[in-house]
Structure 1
Amino acid sequence: MSELRSVDVCSGAGGLALGLEQAGFEPLLLLDKKAVACDTLRRNRPAWQVLETDLLDFTPSRHQEIYDVDLLSAGLPRVKSSATVARTETGAELRLLEATVYLAHAVQPRALVIENVPGLVGAPEFEPVRDLIRKELDHLGYRFRWFLLNAADFGVPQDRKQGLLVALRKQYFDAFRPPEPTVREHLSVGQALRSSMAMGGWRDADRWAAQAIGVAPTLVGGSDSRGGADLGPTGTKKAWARMGVDGGTVADNVPSPDFAWAPETGRQGMVRITTDQAALLQGFPSDWGFSGKKTARYRQIGHASPPPVARALGLAIRSALATPATSVAGYTSTP
């Protein structure tokens, strides 16, 4: 598979970039403002050019190699879907969203992909944001579409809905189709984690896995201003409890041989998942490492884009870029 060139911003732990790499996109530059995330990227891909900087401070003219790339990708911090536009317009998350679109103006990629919360796709409170994006992309000569994907449909053992914007230059747009699910049956938490739960000799691993038959609720990375790592808000913790998992914390190690699993007794009788297991639930390969202490590792994982979804998305974009358009709004294709 011949490689296409990409630029990835707000890269985090690299889930989006990894999946796109698997689809044949070679990143010329990745940037993130967090040192620990940049360390994770360099740890796993020493050859990648990683820049530790805030997208809002990034000056593209200093990086000539990024101009005229095939794809600009962004797994941006989640805008607050429950907030009003009046409150979010001043937020850093929306400024990053706008900065990504403005970066497309400078970079002029053949394709653009932005991943964020489902509400951004159609919620009324985000209509002004979508209108701003529409006007800018129309001005730049792109056509685009908003759509939703669920990571569970791509072999990720997690109910994780993602809002996506894909824009392409007009001569490629008609060939683009959002990726179809790659699995017929969702992978359960028990199936995904049984082997790792048994690694320490825990005798109840099979019994636990047999009842953990659903996909995981959405992993939530949380805010840097909060305390330690946990698996999410109250509703999420309740969903984990129904699978016999304590969602109020993240474990340092898998269960020991003598751990007595008795979820009916409360949190002390529930099993806990580790950061490595959280990464499996996010669709990362087992050899992808994460830098930092436990809470920093978990937050990187919880904020990441699942690589299998990114791979499917990348393949769909790649197919569109490779398909000649015979006549699209007056454009003729080039092989």
Structure 2
Amino acid sequence: MEQDQGAVGAPHRFTSLEICAGAGGLALGLEQAGFDPVLLLDNRSIACETVRTNRPRWDVRELDVLDFDPVDHQQVYDVHLLSGGLPRVKSPATVARTRGDDAELSVLKAAVDLVYGVQPQAVLLENVPDLVRKSDYEPIRKVVGEELRHLGYRFRWHILNAKDYGVPQSREVGLLVAFKGDLMDRFEWPRSQAGARRSVAETLLPSMRGRGWRDAAKWAAQADVIAPTIVGGSWDRGGADLGPTGAKQKWARVGVDGVTVADQVPDADFVWDPNLGRAGLVPLTVEQVALLQGFPVDWRIAGRKTARYRQVGNATPPPLARALGEAIGSVLRKANEDPIRVTGK
């Protein structure tokens, strides 16, 4: 798949380094906002295959961020933006209760360490909303903040919901945005889009009709709502489903079987009747879940079904990434016109 021609022709292109690239949702949205990655990293081969399939010109490396040394990749020095959708950080209290490790926290710390090695003008990191709002995470926020201030960056934590940016899903995202020097003064979080929010029915009805399903319109009447949060799940256990019990119950109210992920959309003879329980609910395909995440219909996801679903479910919605990229790009364009603001001198 060739790179988006509109993005290529857009003025004021910027450079970026992306870590934990996953299925490419964040990178795609940032590309649409004017950012071209000089390097993308992910520690999963299947995720790297997905990004390479869709953007063969991008330099994608299968490499853990914990092992990444900018000295070996000097093209990343002084990029405009360091970005990443990081593994979901657990609170210190949760780690203590479960006797789990702090692998996700190590990735967050490694990302902040990269700020020192790369010296980007801006930083964008995405994670769980609880990292921003819960007191359990305050020690983590404090460590990150102290390090960024030490490096000469100012920053803000914030939560945005993807449904406010054209994604047909209620999906809160925790965000950290930082700028070198005093550029933070010029940054504004992207405003919510005006008008009605895009629904599940509006997004999926064309695909539901793809094999002649006669009950597609009947289902769509019940599914004229915003989707509940898509849960990517753990890479280490379980198959492809739409999340824990609570999430499955929410999907059932939309007429969807959240216990499984389908190989194909329903055929002409499928009878949709929620009164029959799971047998009367329609399962979604990976491609449909990708649409609910805001991926374009032609974005290909590599691998077998469970691996494909994990990539999609854990992705940053591209429309949200685009809105954030446009907000960051606006600051950087002004900085290029007034360079003294970049260093804060």
TM-score bin (small chain): over 0.9
Could you tell me which residue of structure 2 aligns to residue 107 of structure 1? Answer: 118
**CA distance in 2 between partners of 1:221 and 1:316 (Å):** 27
Please say if 1:147 is aligned against 2:171: no
Note if contact 2:41-2:63 (Cα within 8 Å) is conserved in structure 1: yes
**CA distance in 2 between partners of 1:253 and 1:326 (Å):** 53
Partner amino acid for 2:317? P
Note if contact 2:132-2:158 (Cα within 8 Å) is conserved in structure 1: yes
Please say if 1:8 is aligned against 2:18: yes
Could you tell me which residue of structure 2 aligns to residue 94 of structure 1? Answer: 105
Please say if 1:217 is aligned against 2:225: no
Q: CA, structure 1 residues 89+111, in 2 after alignment: closer, same or farther (shift >3 Å)?
A: farther
Note if contact 2:162-2:317 (Cα within 8 Å) is conserved in structure 1: yes
**CA distance in 1 between partners of 2:108 and 2:259 (Å):** 31
**CA distance in 1 between partners of 2:130 and 2:298 (Å):** 33
**CA distance in 2 between partners of 1:77 and 1:114 (Å):** 10
Partner amino acid for 1:26? D
Could you tell me which residue of structure 2 aligns to residue 70 of structure 1? Answer: 80
Could you tell me which residue of structure 2 aligns to residue 131 of structure 1? Answer: 142
1:43 to 27, 36, 53: 53
Q: CA, structure 1 residues 142+263, in 2 after alignment: closer, same or farther (shift >3 Å)?
A: same
Q: Aligned residues: percent identity?
A: 57
Could you tell me which residue of structure 1 aligns to residue 195 of structure 2? Answer: 184
Note if contact 1:72-1:109 (Cα within 8 Å) is conserved in structure 2: yes
Q: CA, structure 1 residues 101+290, in 2 after alignment: closer, same or farther (shift >3 Å)?
A: same
Deviations 1:119-141 (A, max 9, x none): 11121111111111111110111
- 1:321 positional shift: 1.3
Name the SS for the 1:323 alignment partner: helix
Please say if 1:79 is aligned against 2:89: yes
**CA distance in 2 between partners of 1:89 and 1:23 (Å):** 38
**CA distance in 2 between partners of 1:40 and 1:140 (Å):** 34
Name the SS for the 1:148 alignment partner: strand
Q: CA, structure 1 residues 131+298, in 2 after alignment: closer, same or farther (shift >3 Å)?
A: same
Could you tell me which residue of structure 1 aligns to residue 8 of structure 2? Answer: none
2:319 to 308, 326, 331: 308
Deviations 1:223-276 (A, max 9, x none): 122121000111110000011110000000000000011111100111010000
Note if contact 1:85-1:126 (Cα within 8 Å) is conserved in structure 2: no
Task: Return 5+ residue gaps in structure 1 as ranges.
Answer: none
Partner amino acid for 1:244? G
Could you tell me which residue of structure 1 aligns to residue 5 of structure 2? Answer: none
Could you tell me which residue of structure 1 aligns to residue 4 of structure 2? Answer: none
Q: How does 1:52-71 map to 2 (within 5 A)?
A: 52-71=62-81
Name the SS for the 2:269 alignment partner: coil
**CA distance in 2 between partners of 1:328 and 1:54 (Å):** 33
Deviation larger for 49-58 or 317-326: 317-326
Total equivalences in the alignment = 332
Could you tell me which residue of structure 2 aligns to residue 156 of structure 1? Answer: 167
Could you tell me which residue of structure 1 aligns to residue 344 of structure 2? Answer: 331
RMSD (Å) for aligned C-alpha atoms: 1.8
Deviation larger for 246-255 or 74-83: 74-83
Q: CA, structure 1 residues 133+89, in 2 after alignment: closer, same or farther (shift >3 Å)?
A: farther
Note if contact 1:196-1:254 (Cα within 8 Å) is conserved in structure 2: yes
Could you tell me which residue of structure 2 aligns to residue 25 of structure 1? Answer: 35
- 1:80 positional shift: 2.8
**CA distance in 1 between partners of 2:155 and 2:322 (Å):** 19
- 1:83 positional shift: 4.6
- 1:329 positional shift: 11
Partner amino acid for 1:202? W
Give structure 1 regions of 4+ aligned residues with deviation exceeding 3 angstroms.
81-90, 324-332
Name the SS for the 2:258 alignment partner: coil
Output the TM-score relative to the length of structure 2.
0.93
Partner amino acid for 1:304? A
Partner amino acid for 1:59? D
Deviations 1:27-84 (A, max 9, x none): 0000000000000010000000001011111121100100000000010011235953
Q: CA, structure 1 residues 50+154, in 2 after alignment: closer, same or farther (shift >3 Å)?
A: same
- 1:182 positional shift: 2.0
Name the SS for the 1:26 alignment partner: strand
